[in-house]
Amino acid sequence: MNTFFELIKPVWDPHAGQLEFLLNNARLKVLACGRRWGKTDACAAQVVSTFVEKKPTKHFLVAPTIDQAKLLFNRILDLIDKICDLPNTPFPDRPKFKLSPFP
């Protein structure tokens, strides 16, 4: 996981709380934080880090509304897009995603 954060440092640098969340190996994680803490960014990084590890996983994006779930989904896509533009990207072939009808 640390190499993942070294890789994405040019596009996203987590603060201490986000890093603690991301380095925690618990199977289920819950973030109870205030506004503007960076929950969406931390969760997007968590999901993308599993893509880099290339082992099968499942992720459930749960939110009170579809618009809120789309915020996280879109942040994941944005982070992957930025990582693909890095010179040492772990994604030599840009990943493809299909949206239908919900993320």
Instruction: State pTM to two decimals.
Output: 0.84
Which tens digit of pLDDT belongs to each residue from 17-74?
999 999 998 988 889 999 999 999 999 999 998 888 777 777 888 888 888 888 999 9
The residue assigned the tokens 């070294």 is 6
Residue 42 CB: number of other CB atoms within 10 A?
22
Per-residue pLDDT band for 79 (boundaries 50, 70, 90) equals very high
C-alpha angle 37-43-46 in degrees, rounded to nearest 5: 130
Angle between helices 16-23 and 39-53 (to 10 degrees): 40
Q: How is residue 41 written in tokens?
A: 């960014």
What local confidence, expressed as pLDDT, does residue 88 receive? 83
- Token pair of 2, please? 């640390």
